[in-house]
Amino acid sequence: MTASDRVCVIGAGSSGIAACRALDAAGIAYDCVEKGSQVGGNWRYRNDNGQSAAYRSLHINTSRRLMEFREYPMPEDLPDFPSHFQIAAYFDDYVEHFGLREHIRFRTEVVAVEPVPDGGWDVTTRPYAASGDGATASGDVPTAGAPTTARYRAVVVANGHHWDPRWPEPAFPGEDGFTGERMHAHAYDTPDVLAGRRVLVLGIGNSATDIAVEASRTAEKTFLAMRRSAHVIPKYVFGKPMDELQSGLASKVHVPLAVQRASAGALLRITTGRMTDYGLAEPDHRLFEAHPTVSSELLGRLGHGDIAPKPNIDRFLGGRTVRFVDGTEEELDLVVYCTGYRIRFPFLDEAIVSTADNHVPLYRRVVAPGRPGLFFVGLVQPIGAVMPLAEAQSQWVAALLSGETTLPDPSAMRRAIADEEAAMARQYLASKRHTIQVDFHDYLRLLRRERRLGRAAADTGTPLSRVGAVARRVRARVGAGT
């Protein structure tokens, strides 16, 4: 085979369709491969690709004005925080509006992506049977054809990072002897599994708070356990989405973290109070040193006594008894682990891109140094929504592929990765949850700057490292980061 002029996009979730749109707008030929039968990825409820984490009651926790694609705003008649049904419909409209569906090969799994020595990438895929044909009791859909391989000039990986559940590592002592039920939040769907039971939800992220709130309405008793406490941020402040209030100035200029922390902290103290007022432990970190937890209901349910906070699990004692690190014990019927996800690319060898401990070393969270033509879109965890970031990433990738802009050499990219990771380590708690963390508005500015400097380098033939040297010195002086 010879390398074609086409690009392969893996996944038709929110990031994959953004990549398709950017390539299409740039006139770059592409194919998109999607395991399921519809677009939307994680936001497609009960997606037949078997990987969606959406539960029946799920709503977005960033407001639609911050979540929407900049090129295709959400309808004004949608609520501030739409449901996953409305988000999936929005993605359907996006694909139809830009005519992307004809480029998507549904019910097709990517088996392997391998670099070609003389350039390009071999992508091996296999088709699945039509939806519902021969599905097993577990919902698995059998393959319906032999694998085939095609060669592409580039590959855009957009398979998401909320599909491979991460269980507690290591497992709690005695866990195998627990006679109640254990499940990961990824498998949670409707609250009937909670009804009339003594339920423990482990975690303090957004899924954990949603599930605990639902349990508090139907379970016999609900406990919420956590390794460390968190700052819980309401969706609304003074009748407005809090993220919109916070993003006003930050969307226009760089706002130092200390200023963001002070302003948000003041709002929370006025409108919410302290976490200890609701029975939670005092967080062991400052605001924005960990990914925030967004909930307008959790604190009220805690205050009503409908959810009982607990520290981390110490061990399972046999039967249905669980002991916590404070020495207290409870009899439980169900433990729901809201312990996050592993980042994984089953079609890529670890020697190509490592994902050990959720650490993926990418330049600007997109480019794999030393792997020409391999890009990642949507592999970020912002304080804010992924979609506008995936859109900007995709536009940068399209500009790189069209020759409009260029990249630094691999050694310069690796140095930049090390600098960014050091900066993130200073800002965030050391956790597998924060390995792909970015600051929403600063990251958008970084991508725009990268594209602008790369365009200047491409136009003049000057190495990008020299073009950006003055800009980096200026940013260092004003404290605007990399």
Q: With b meaning 16 or more CB within 10 Å and e meaning fewer, what string describes 392-431?
A: bbbbbbbbbbeebbbbbeeebbeebbeebeeeeeebbeee
How many residues can be counted in the chain? 482
Give 240's contacts (C-beta < 8 A, 6+ positions apart): none
Give the CATH number for residue 416: 3.50.50.60
Number of domains present in the structure of the chain: 2
Burial of 342 (0-12, 13-18, 19+ CB in 10 A): middle
Residue type, 361: P
Residue 393 inside a domain? The answer is yes
Residue 228 inside a domain? The answer is yes
In this structure, the answer to whether residues 183 and 106 fall within a common structural domain is no
In this structure, the answer to whether residues 460 and 331 fall within a common structural domain is no
Residue 259 inside a domain? The answer is no
In this structure, the answer to whether residues 363 and 401 fall within a common structural domain is yes
In this structure, the answer to whether residues 276 and 330 fall within a common structural domain is yes
Residue 316 inside a domain? The answer is yes
In this structure, the answer to whether residues 132 and 83 fall within a common structural domain is yes
pTM over cut 0.75: yes
In this structure, the answer to whether residues 73 and 140 fall within a common structural domain is yes
Residue 258 inside a domain? The answer is no
Residue 457 inside a domain? The answer is yes
pLDDT tens across the length of the chain (482 residues):
555 899 999 999 999 999 999 999 999 999 999 999 999 999 999 999 989 999 999 999 999 999 999 999 999 999 999 999 999 999 999 999 999 999 999 999 999 999 999 899 999 999 986 554 444 444 455 566 889 999 999 999 999 999 999 999 899 999 999 999 999 999 999 999 999 999 999 999 999 999 999 999 999 999 999 999 999 999 999 999 999 988 877 777 888 878 888 888 898 999 999 999 999 999 999 888 888 899 999 999 999 999 999 999 999 999 999 999 999 999 999 999 999 999 999 999 999 999 999 999 999 999 999 999 999 999 999 888 999 999 999 999 999 999 999 999 999 999 999 999 888 888 887 777 778 888 899 999 999 999 998 888 766 666 665 554 444 443 444 344 44
In this structure, the answer to whether residues 194 and 75 fall within a common structural domain is no
Residue 35 inside a domain? The answer is yes
Full residue range of the structural domain in which residue 418 is found: 7-163+341-478
